[in-house]
Chains A and B, each alone.
Chain A
């Protein structure tokens, strides 16, 4: 079981959360970047053997969106959101 620390509700079972995908850089202005940079923004996600930065939605809880750093090898949450 993975417990995700919600800043509002405390540590809660992952089953209460919806996965929101990896944190992406801010959306660039498509007209201000090259095609290659734009495609890169759309396609590339870090896929590390180690911590990933990702978003979760406490959908079946308080409804807050939060970001954590989670280790892809262990599911350990290495960095929790500020309470």
Chain B
């Protein structure tokens, strides 16, 4: 893998930058691999990387319908945090945050990682109770989630001028999650892709999987693509949003619904907010990007959806809520808006498991799954390679639905 460093930048600069090589190859598609991963998003690429890195399994193809890193990993608001609710979840997300912090070094790719705290602005007592309870749980795992007063909330977020005593929902206080961070989503996709490719993993773009193939014994045998049949004894479905579309081609039904989540950004302005602001009672959250844009997210569309745009009323609701707390944002011009489709299970926790079809693995139910990419890839690779679940993901099974043994999580951010 060619090294990215100040020195290499200078060296290539002398050569008018003509000497850089491609970050990953475009090899011909082989008829058979040891492992096929469907979907070159964050989870697919990270799984491929850790299969090669941790388990020496490099005969791997990642098949991507479009271009790598063009799915939800390109459409999310890059909030990384670990303040979850359940013992089954918290250590998993703590690990993911930790891996993210070391990812720039591990992949030799600048993630532009920016640890900056997330401040929850609380406006109802019900939410306050829920978040305090979350704090007590989090206290077991390092106390990165603590209450602060209304004055402290306003001190940390000077632009927060609404929500005063006369407002419909006055601010009652806040919470700070000190582990929260943002980073650069393209770098995550490209960094994992480049490092996996360097170890021999093939990334096959423009290769949609049309259906799964099962053998006479019921086991997975491979996939049908637009470029022909690809055989593999192990197939991983990492297609976020389209999981059921794929698994149903092999007659496998999964307890997932696909929903549309949206975001929009403002024009760039001078540095104004240096934390991630989360307003769960009003139903929006935002952070300011390095470029200066406000990156704003709201609540999902009600109902199932495979659309990738934003509905007018979802957009209006989010803007109205935001202006009630940040009236000065009225003068911001909004630049772009978009959506992505994500699948979600009943309990809002992920599913990472081998399915009833031997050799077929799924990683799905990734609602806030950007933060989970490093730990998701690490633990799924462990399961695929060894056949045993990694302890950090042992509860994210399919079996839990059969036994009504949920890992209940609800978003801290927007309503669900």
Q: Would you list 20 pairs from A and B whose C-beta atoms are within 8 A, ordered by A residue?
A: A1-B311, A14-B313, A15-B317, A18-B302, A19-B303, A39-B404, A42-B404, A44-B253, A47-B244, A47-B258, A47-B343, A49-B306, A52-B303, A54-B304, A70-B303, A72-B304, A72-B305, A72-B307, A73-B307, A75-B307
Known contacts A1-B313, A14-B313, A19-B302; A43 and B307 CB within 8 A of each other? no
B401 on interface, CB distance cutoff 8 Å: yes
Considering only residues 237-265 of chain B, those with a C-beta below 8 Å from chain A are 244-245, 253, 255-258
Interface pair A75/B312, CB less than 8 Å apart: no
Residues from chain B with Cβ under 8 Å of A14 in the complex = 302, 311, 313
Given contacts A1-B311, A18-B302, A72-B304, 17 further A-B contacts (CB under 8 A): A15-B313, A15-B317, A22-B257, A39-B402, A43-B255, A43-B346, A43-B401, A44-B253, A47-B245, A47-B256, A47-B257, A47-B304, A47-B343, A49-B306, A73-B306, A73-B307, A74-B307
A45 on interface, CB distance cutoff 8 Å: yes
Residues from chain A with Cβ under 8 Å of B313 in the complex = 1-2, 13-15
Interface pair B255/A44, CB less than 8 Å apart: yes
Q: How many A-B residue pairs have CB under 8 A?
A: 54
Interface pair B311/A72, CB less than 8 Å apart: no
A41, B343: Cα distance in complex, Å: 19
Smallest CB separation, B87 vs chain A (Å): 23
A44, B398: Cα distance in complex, Å: 13
Interface pair B257/A45, CB less than 8 Å apart: yes
How many residues belonging to B are interface residues under a CB distance threshold of 8 Å?
A: 22
Which residue of chain A has the shortest Cβ distance to B258 in the bound complex? A47
Residues from chain B with Cβ under 8 Å of A73 in the complex = 306-307
Residues from chain B with Cβ under 8 Å of A1 in the complex = 311-313
Residues from chain B with Cβ under 8 Å of A44 in the complex = 253, 255
Which residue of chain A has the shortest Cβ distance to B345 in the bound complex? A43
Q: Interface 1/0s, chain A 1-38, versus B by CB < 8 A?
A: 11000000000011100110010000000000000100
A45, B343: Cα distance in complex, Å: 12
Residues from chain A with Cβ under 8 Å of B404 in the complex = 39, 42
A22, B255: Cα distance in complex, Å: 13
Smallest CB separation, B306 vs chain A (Å): 5
Residues from chain A with Cβ under 8 Å of B303 in the complex = 19, 52, 54, 70
Which residue of chain A has the shortest Cβ distance to B317 in the bound complex? A15
Residues from chain B with Cβ under 8 Å of A54 in the complex = 303-304
Interface pair A49/B245, CB less than 8 Å apart: yes
Q: Interface 1/0s, chain B 378-416, versus A by CB < 8 A?
A: 000000000000000000000001101000000000000
Interface pair B401/A39, CB less than 8 Å apart: yes
Residues from chain A with Cβ under 8 Å of B255 in the complex = 43-45
Which residue of chain B has the shortest Cβ distance to A68 in the bound complex? B303
Which residue of chain B has the shortest Cβ distance to A40 in the bound complex? B253
Which residue of chain B has the shortest Cβ distance to A35 in the bound complex? B402
Smallest CB separation, B252 vs chain A (Å): 12
Residues from chain A with Cβ under 8 Å of B402 in the complex = 36, 39
Smallest CB separation, A34 vs chain B (Å): 12
Interface pair B258/A72, CB less than 8 Å apart: yes
Which residue of chain B has the shortest Cβ distance to A45 in the bound complex? B257
Residues from chain A with Cβ under 8 Å of B306 in the complex = 49, 72-73
A36, B399: Cα distance in complex, Å: 12
A49, B404: Cα distance in complex, Å: 27
Residues from chain A with Cβ under 8 Å of B312 in the complex = 1
Residues from chain B with Cβ under 8 Å of A13 in the complex = 313
A18, B97: Cα distance in complex, Å: 36
Interface pair B305/A75, CB less than 8 Å apart: yes
Q: 9 closest Cβ contacts across the A-B interface?
A: A19-B302, A43-B255, A47-B244, A15-B313, A1-B312, A72-B306, A72-B304, A73-B306, A43-B401
Residues from chain B with Cβ under 8 Å of A70 in the complex = 303
A36, B402: Cα distance in complex, Å: 7
